[in-house]
Amino acid sequence: MPRFMIERNFAEQLDVTNDSAATVKRINDEEGVEWLFSFLSADKKKTYCLYEAPSVDAIRAAARRANLPADVIVEVSDLRPEMFS
């Protein structure tokens, strides 16, 4: 499945609760989107999230339903050592 890096910009500092995380997980499952990993900026106003998803449209749909920004979405791939030889 394709992987995507999503940049999310928040107006306020991000405060994630167990309930809000469960809601996002449920929505992602319904849209066929799987969260893999996230980084939070030092000011807690921006995240960089790695997802597997069938398409950019699925990510946008999940973000819209969860009321989350998805400011930049970039398809990414793994770098392997043999690619540099």
pTM: 0.83
The CATH superfamily holding the domain 3-78 is ORF SCO4226, nickel-binding ferredoxin-like monomer (3.30.70.3090)
**Confidence (pLDDT) at 70:** 95
Q: What is the pLDDT of residues 35-63, one digit of tens each?
A: 999 999 998 889 999 999 999 999 999 99
- Comparing 81 with 1, the larger pLDDT belongs to 1
**Confidence (pLDDT) at 4:** 97
Q: How far is 79 from 82, CA to CA, in rounded Å?
A: 9
**Confidence (pLDDT) at 59:** 97
* Domain chopping of the chain, boundaries: 3-78
Number of alpha carbons in the 13 Å side-chain half-sphere of residue 83: 4
What's the mean per-residue pLDDT of the chain?
A: 91
Q: What is the pLDDT of residues 15-30, one digit of tens each?
A: 778 898 899 999 999 9
